[in-house]
Amino acid sequence: MPIKASTPSSVLLVCLGNICRSPTAEEIFRQQAAIAGLSMRVDSAGTGDWHIGHAPDERAQRHAKAHGYKINKLVARQVNADDFRNFDLILAMDAQNLADLQSIKDGLKDTDTKLAKLALFSEEDPTYGGYDVPDPYTGDSDAFEEVIERIESSAQAWIESWKT
């Protein structure tokens, strides 16, 4: 299947702490891209620094595994300036993280370097377009299931948007 020239070669998925939404999105996005025949680097990070070096939340791991996604080996990290130089597209799980990313990007002094495009993760999704992927951290089991459903939908929508 032909892929548009504008298809990114690298995508960074970002939430607040990089222990629930973005690591789940990283693995789902990676798998869906591979199934679609896309060769791209996929990673995740958080805008906050509370969980640097930690594995994903155990509840996120458990729910992801139940859907065939293994995220237990991922390690939380914080977004840094190089991410804006090294990724083509950075997708934020919610509007607040998108605003935080835009603020970081605006503070970079790069004039000769092409910086990553920023977008809301659900931007291309006909079902969830424009809505935040809700943070399940303080929620129950249903919250983690909803996150997986939304991430699967939005990841697929991005991939479909790159097909010609």
Active site residues: 15, 21, 135
Distance CA 151, CA 30 (A): 12
Tell me the backbone φ, ψ of residue 157, rounded to 5 degrees.
-65, -40
Please compute Rg for the chain using Cα positions. Answer: 15
Residue in the block written with tokens 């299931």: 145
Distance in Å from the first CA to the final CA of the chain: 8
Nearest in space to 44 (alpha carbons), one of 7, 84, 91, 106: 91
Distance CA 148, CA 142 (A): 10
Distance CA 72, CA 66 (A): 12
4 contacts: CB under 8 Å, gap ≥ 6 = 162, 163, 164
